[in-house]
Structure 1
Amino acid sequence: MQPAAFHPSRHYIGSVLIDRGHRKSPKTSDKQIQPSIPSGPPTRFLQAKTAKTMQPITLYSHPIGPNPWKVAIILSALHIPYEMIMIDFTEVKKEPYVSLCPNGRLPTIVDPNKNITLWESGAIVNYLIETYDQSHQLSYDTFPERHQLQQWLHFQVSGQGPYYGQLGWFRRQPEQVPQAIERYTAEIRRVMSVLDQVLTDREWLVGDKCTYADLSFVPWQDLVPLVVGDQRVVQELTEQFPHVEAWMQRMRARPEVQKVLKEKSEAMASN
């Protein structure tokens, strides 16, 4: 299926093509615009040069959903051109989106360079690393590091994301369920305690550099204040897990993270 079926209107945030779905914008047009290639330091020249020969990958996303932005961070870090198409949560279980993702969840990518469509953020991250990180900028090809990277990605996908998401869901309900809020707040503490313990004597989860394993945690961890919804608890978490806070600050200082979080903030503001 051609991605074009999803964008009756388009606009850009930063260097990324954004689709507002059914919302029309008087400043947009249907004219095809090539997404720009993210800039980066000289050490990434070869990957940036390769990106110029690529067609952009289409990333189906939502302004607030953290998992698509996880994929966007990896794409940006690898200097892979991409266009982002916003899908409203009310549309993800309907055609035409379910023909791309039968599970009706975000994200999904369509990579015209390899003629592949993928959903599930962990699978997408694995694909991007295996296919486009040949220089191991965000990964390792050594034992045991390559397996440890998978360990942390699985922990993020099965631990951090679901528990943080459940707390956010229960917090938004008009009828509060204290037992559920207490349970999932405790799970957030548990996840953060695991991370904090490992980061006590190291800067990164695996090896001596920031990898896709670290970056995969950014979008959900960045949403902790919104998910928790209680400033007192947020402050307690910050003080209780200082190594997690320092780790997040190191990642927020990275250009690709700053770029994507800025785009996410702008997308949320205009949603």
Structure 2
Amino acid sequence: MTGTATTGPATRTPPRLAGLILINLLALLLCGTLLALGTWQVHRRTWKLDLIARVEANAHGAPVAAPGPAAWPALTERDAYRRVRLDGTWLDTPDTLVRAVTDLGGGSWVLTPLRTDAGFTVLVNRGFVPGDRRAPVARAGGARAAVAGLLRLDEPGGAFLRANDPGADTWYSRDVAAIARARGLPEPVAPYFVDAERRPGSDPDRDLGAGLPVGGLTVIRFHNNHLIYAITWYALAMMVAGGALYLDRDAWRRGRAA
């Protein structure tokens, strides 16, 4: 009589347990990602608060002499919005009109080159003119000028989906290098421009009728929603962890009942 071979019990992991392990691994990965995102937003908030404090200090401090060529290589975003002063002569060069949208409506910034007494050229954003007043704003080439304003970093290329077109004299950003080339400004040209302050006693609404361009319209405003974002990511991480814990506990109770 021929005997039949028997096999031992299977050692496969039950499907329910395998699925639970997979869910826990995915939950662990997702929790780690969400916690990392939340921590990144905390660091971003610290950076943003430092930026806001630095800009506020720069914008409301006493004006200093505009940095000259020796200081240009070291300029960084930490120098943005610093109050500076310029003394020099307006160049007899056409103004450059750069498209702008302000609290006063749509129009253009008026950029005018100033040759400083220190021997370098700076583009000065003298202010805003509305869209129906795009004719060159009167100013005397060769006239002396004393300008106080905010140092702004270069804006190369153009705006979102709108590239500057020097050949057509169409500008969407204050691209210092490109404007200097298009206008043939005398070297050296500062790698920044200066937003001129509002004239003492001026009023923007009144100046729209006379006294153009309207200066002092620089917007210093930074969105700081990083704390909300951090709380959101951390809350999602807790929800994922809570969901995984609930499934584990439910599986454990089912196992005991079986």
Superposition TM-score tier, normalisation by shorter sequence:
under 0.3
TM-score (normalizing by structure 1): 0.23
TM-score (normalizing by structure 2): 0.23
Name the structure with the higher strand share. Answer: 2
Name the structure with the higher helix share. Answer: 1
Q: Which has the higher contact order (CA 8 A, sep 6+)?
A: 2
